[in-house]
């Protein structure tokens, strides 16, 4: 731990959340997120509307983060921002703002890979939360990504499995849409699943080689199933919503856990961390807790506020880059595709 106080101001704007956080020596002082409600009526994120909302939100969100942390901008040591991956228009807002502010304050600029940040969120100083030791496996599951990553050091990561098509969050959200639930449907499926029978209906699991995933066939299976059943009984969804949700969730979690088991077997690493929006799901959280007792894994389940997109995770990644003096040039640009 350094003697001096290292205050990182972090900015996240890769998708539809405008977020800012302030960290002092790896501890969160503030973590502000403005979620954009505008997309709900369209059933998904509309990129152009997301960029405009980021432009409106970014100044108040940063002000709020600094005020809550009780830090003056003069005392900020460096600015960390999400360079990618994400929506180009959204990334541009955060990137341009971070560059201008760092330039104006004459302090270092730190670029952060959003997918690395989801994993590094496990290194935020939090009472009651252990940090993983290297090497460990991280499964990042969100609306945009599904990856299993071998993490050898803070910035030494290798993707060992990923989705060939839809992300797991899309499997949740698209299934929810078929059931007539609003966007994003993942949390609603989770809610109804709690009171349903996970074995009421059977959905097929895709057969994909190695540690990769595929979810596009799953949503089609849900669609055909619902079409077939509602033809027989128009009130089928209404009568069986909880059981359908529980069965969908059970199948999706089965797919994720099967691949994790395979990854643990192949790598010999049994420390497993999860991250990304879908790691808020109560079923996957319970499955990992069960894995600790059943198979002796050591699992790392993030606090809820660090599962969906946030700037605290960008800040912790930025802090570890600051310690290595890994600073970005002011010519740095946003990258919508940005590999780990």
Binding site for ligand KG4 (CB under 6 A): 15, 142-144, 169, 172-173, 184, 186-187, 190, 276-278, 280-281, 308-309
* Residue 191 to residues 10, 62, 194, 241, 283, Cα–Cα distance (Å): 32, 32, 6, 11, 10
Which two tokens mark 89? 């228009």
Which two tokens mark 193? 């699943």
Residue 28 is labelled as binding a ligand: no
- Residue with Cβ nearer ligand KG4 (111 or 173): 173
Min dist CB 186 to ligand KG4, Å, is: 2
190 binds, among ligand KG4, Zn ion, none (CB under 5 to 8 A by kind): ligand KG4
Q: How far is CA 97 from the centre of its chain?
A: 22
Residue 189 is labelled as binding a ligand: no
Residue 267: burial class (beta carbons within 10 Å; 0-12, 13-18, 19+): middle
161 binds, among Zn ion, ligand KG4, none (CB under 5 to 8 A by kind): none
Q: Which of residues 93-152 bind Zn ion (CB under 5 A)?
A: 142
Do 299 and 292 meet the contact criterion of CB atoms below 8 Å apart? Answer: yes
| Segment interacting with Zn ion, rule: CB under 5 A, options 1-9, 76-84, 176-184, 304-312 | 304-312
Residue 106 is labelled as binding a ligand: no
Residue 145 is labelled as binding a ligand: no
Which of 259, 302, 309, 340 touches Zn ion by CB under 5 A?
309
Which two tokens mark 256? 């994720």
Min dist CB 83 to ligand KG4, Å, is: 15
Residue 244 is labelled as binding a ligand: no
* Residue 187 to residues 11, 32, 221, 237, Cα–Cα distance (Å): 25, 21, 20, 18
Helices (H), 106-235: 114-120, 168-178, 186-193, 216-232
Min dist CB 233 to ligand KG4, Å, is: 27
Q: What is the DSSP string of 30-60?
A: EEEEEE-GGGGGGTS--HHHHHHHHHHHHHH
For residue 331, count other CB atoms closer than 10 A to its CB: 6
Min dist CB 278 to ligand KG4, Å, is: 4
Min dist CB 222 to Zn ion, Å, is: 24
166 binds, among ligand KG4, Zn ion, none (CB under 5 to 8 A by kind): none
**How would you classify the pairing of strands 146-153 and 156-162?**
antiparallel
Residue 320 is labelled as binding a ligand: no
Residue 142 is labelled as binding a ligand: yes
- Residue with Cβ nearer ligand KG4 (77 or 140): 140
Min dist CB 247 to Zn ion, Å, is: 27
Three-class SS state of 271: strand
Residues of this chain that interact with Zn ion (CB under 5 A) are: 142, 309
Annotated binding site for Fe cation: 114, 118, 309
């Amino acid at each position: 731990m350094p003697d001096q106080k290292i205050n990182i101001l972090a900015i996240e704007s890769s998708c539809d959340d405008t977020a800012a956080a302030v960290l002092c020596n790896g501890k969160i002082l503030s973590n502000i997120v403005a979620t954009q409600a505008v997309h709900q009526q369209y059933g998904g994120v509309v990129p152009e509307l997301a960029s405009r909302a980021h432009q409106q939100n970014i100044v108040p969100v940063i002000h709020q983060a600094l005020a809550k942390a009780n830090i003056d901008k003069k005392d900020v040591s460096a600015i960390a921002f999400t360079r990618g991956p994400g929506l180009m228009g959204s990334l541009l807002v955060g990137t341009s703002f971070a560059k201008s502010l760092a330039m104006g304050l004459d302090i270092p600029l730190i670029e952060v890979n959003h997918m690395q940040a989801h994993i590094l969120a496990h290194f935020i100083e939090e009472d009651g939360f252990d940090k993983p030791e290297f090497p460990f496996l991280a499964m990042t599951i969100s609306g945009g990504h599904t990856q299993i990553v071998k993490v050898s050091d803070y910035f030494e990561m290798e993707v060992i499995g990923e989705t060939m098509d839809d992300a797991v969050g899309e499997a949740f959200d698209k299934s929810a849409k078929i059931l007539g639930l609003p966007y994003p449907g993942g949390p609603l499926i989770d809610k109804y699943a709690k009171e349903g029978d996970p074995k009421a209906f059977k959905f097929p699991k895709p057969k994909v080689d190695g540690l990769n995933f595929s979810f596009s066939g799953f949503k089609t299976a849900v669609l055909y199933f619902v079409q077939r059943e509602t033809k027989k009984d128009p009130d089928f969804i209404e009568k069986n919503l909880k059981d359908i949700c529980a069965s969908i969730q059970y199948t999706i979690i089965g797919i994720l856990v099967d691949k994790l088991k395979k990854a643990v077997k192949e790598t010999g690493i049994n420390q497993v961390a999860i991250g990304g929006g879908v790691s808020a799901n109560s079923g996957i959280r319970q499955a990992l807790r069960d894995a600790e007792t059943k198979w002796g894994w050591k699992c790392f389940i993030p606090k809820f506020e660090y599962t969906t997109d946030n700037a605290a995770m960008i800040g912790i990644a930025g802090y570890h880059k600051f310690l290595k003096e890994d600073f970005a040039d002011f010519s740095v640009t946003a990258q919508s595709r940005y590999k780990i």
